[in-house]
A and B are shown apart, each in its own frame.
Chain A
Amino acid sequence: MTAPASTSRSVYVYGVVRASHAVPPGRTGVGERPAPVRTLRAGALAAVISDAPARLRAKRRDLLAHQDLALTLGRDGPVLPMRFGMVAPDEESVRRQLLGTQNDCLAALERVDGRVEMNLKALPTEAGLGPLVREDPEVSRLRTAAHRAPGYEASVRLGEAVARGLKRRAATAAATVLAELSAVADATVHCPEVEGCVLNASFLLDRRGQRRFEGAVERLAATHRDRVELRLTGPLPCYSFTEGRA
């Protein structure tokens, strides 16, 4: 550990853990010249922080540093990961904040204890093109039209209908997938919309249930392979479950 930073210096906050949480030594954080990571205790909680870099940009390296630290912390106990880029003006304001929200944070920590977040994205798949062309009346009609009078306009119309059709097929399948997976997860939340995806959802799972969940996703991916492409990411820090309420 280096000498404690001056209290007037701004700090980058990675996450909040229980005060008893053993934070692995020797870690460094975000920034071009990453500063050592340290903990800041306040009551029953501790914030995992480092000196804030003078000029922080959301670079790949920094995002990875943030993510890696949250993942590492998660191995030794529950952690509430901060959103990327949270900088407190000084240590004292972090302390005040922790004390002021102690009960909520403890409840949230309890909720994610022993759990991980798995994120699922569902995308339209071109594997559905064949069935779509054969089954969708609109695509059928526009295809015939494009055959009769080929041209840019006709192609764009046909392509638009195909994109809509693939998206619709994917969304329908994704709804089924979501319902089935929600039934086996401790909690489910919708995540920010992502361009090109028909579904973006995160699931809170017991660590021990992770394999079973992955198996379920694989089975669903196989069942709906000509309707939707599934991308499962995780285990992740519980970004989407940092609130105490269930």
Chain B
Amino acid sequence: MPTGTYTEEVVCVQRTGTLYDCLELILDRGMVIDVFIRVSLVGIEILKIDARIVVASVDTYLRFAEACNRVDLEFDRSSTTVPELLGGVASGGGSPAGRMATGLGKKKTKKAVAGVGEKVKRAVGADDDEEEEEREERESRPRRRTASTRRRAEPSEED
């Protein structure tokens, strides 16, 4: 990976003053002298390494399984050229066209989805990019002009 990308995000957490990430060193490393007594470390388990992934827990497994499903959705969305509009319509639920589009999206049939996208646009009026906007604009028709202007900017074959 080229340099420069990591400066914007923290890719490596670095700490000096905290105990959490070096507790085992203070407790299990360092010089030991056999004839010395070691104080009791009872209660030390309060301080634990802040590991975000605790392996071997059923809760974690279930969370991962759930995350797999989310990955499915995210992957489908980013890897296919589903128009943004489709996402909005699909999340709107209710409309049969929306449900159909979602189903096809899952099968990753790129072309078909793009085609259906156009059909969906027609079916729902093709002037509402977002569900929210649609709801607001139903009351105020004049604002429709904004929506159709935006639509013209998109490459579209339907008009």
- By a beta-carbon cutoff of 8 Å, the part of chain A in contact with chain B is 10, 13, 15-16, 56-60, 63-64, 66-67, 80-89, 93, 97, 101, 117, 119, 121, 123-126, 129-130, 133-134, 139, 143, 146, 152, 154-156, 158-160, 162-163, 166-167, 191-192, 194-197, 200, 202, 214, 217-219, 221-223, 225, 229-237, 239-240, 242
Contacts and interface: CB of A to CB of B under 8 A. Distances in A.
A66 B26 contact: yes
Given A58-B41, A143-B68, A162-B67, A192 B28 contact: yes
B74 A202 contact: no
Nearest to A160: B61
Given A97-B35, A143-B68, A155-B62, A167 B11 contact: no
Given A60-B19, A60-B47, A236-B16, 5 more contacts: A82-B33, A97-B33, A130-B71, A194-B49, A237-B30
Contact of A83 (B31, B54, B71): B31
Contacts of B22: 67, 119, 233-234, 236, 239
B153 interface: no
Given A123-B52, A133-B68, A195-B51, A86 B36 contact: yes
Interface string B52-85: 1111101011111111100110110000000000
Given A163-B55, A219-B3, A87 B16 contact: no
Interface of B: 1, 3, 5-6, 11-16, 18-19, 21-33, 35-44, 47, 49, 51-56, 58, 60-68, 71-72, 74-75
Contacts, number: 222
Contacts of A87: 36-39
B39 A57 contact: yes
B68 A16 contact: no
Given A195-B55, A202-B25, A222-B6, A242 B31 contact: yes
Contact of B62 (A57, A60, A159, A239): A159
Nearest to B41: A58
A231 B18 CA distance: 12
